[in-house]
Amino acid sequence: MHKTSPILVAEDNDDDFSLFRRAVRAGGVENPVLRFRDGSEMVEFISKLNPRETRQTEPWLAFIDIGMPIMNGFDVLQWLQNEGSKLNLLPVILTGSSSSEDMKRAFALGAYEYLVKPIAPAVFAALAIRPITQKVSAA
């Protein structure tokens, strides 16, 4: 991932977001991190992006918590599947749920990865340096 490509994070829990930020830094990832407190804020931001500009950059990563108010992670994935596909965006589910049903649903809706919180810094380092076609977690 290019160092200027932002990492989008939809996370309503302040403590979880703090842990996320620390893990990103500890993993050596220097990309800017943009936080959204629910899925609707992320969707609003993505809706305003210029697809032509984002397609010309490296893929953006979007970490999306499943359990959020207003618009949950599954709702965001559904929206991305319908509306956001013109962007160079890789949705990654960030969740406390290790439910295989949640995992299957996330992948069916287009999730690129499914990570259970807390996330180790090494995972962020791997996301930052691996070829974008390789997954970090087992599907």
> What's the confidence (pLDDT) of residue 127?
64
- C-alpha 128/C-alpha 75 separation (Å) is 26
Domain range list for the chain: 7-129
Q: Which two tokens stand for residue 11?
A: 């996370």
Mean pLDDT, residues 29-55 taken together: 84
ω into 69 cis (within 30 of 0): no
Average the pLDDT over 122-134 and give the result: 58
CA dist 139 and 80 (Å) reads: 20
The pLDDT of residue 131 is above 90:
no
Residue-wise pLDDT for 47-100, tens only, equals 887 766 665 565 678 889 998 989 999 999 999 888 765 666 777 777 778 899
Per-residue pLDDT at 119 exceeds 60: yes
pLDDT score, position 93: 79
How high is the pLDDT of residue 132?
43
Reference 71, options 98, 36, 113; nearest CA is 36
| Cα–Cα distance measured from residue 35 to residue 56, given in angstroms and rounded to the nearest whole number | 23
Tokens of 121: 């810094």
Does the structure show a pLDDT above 70 at 7? yes
Domain 7-129 in CATH 3.40.50.10480? The answer is no
pLDDT of residue 42: 92
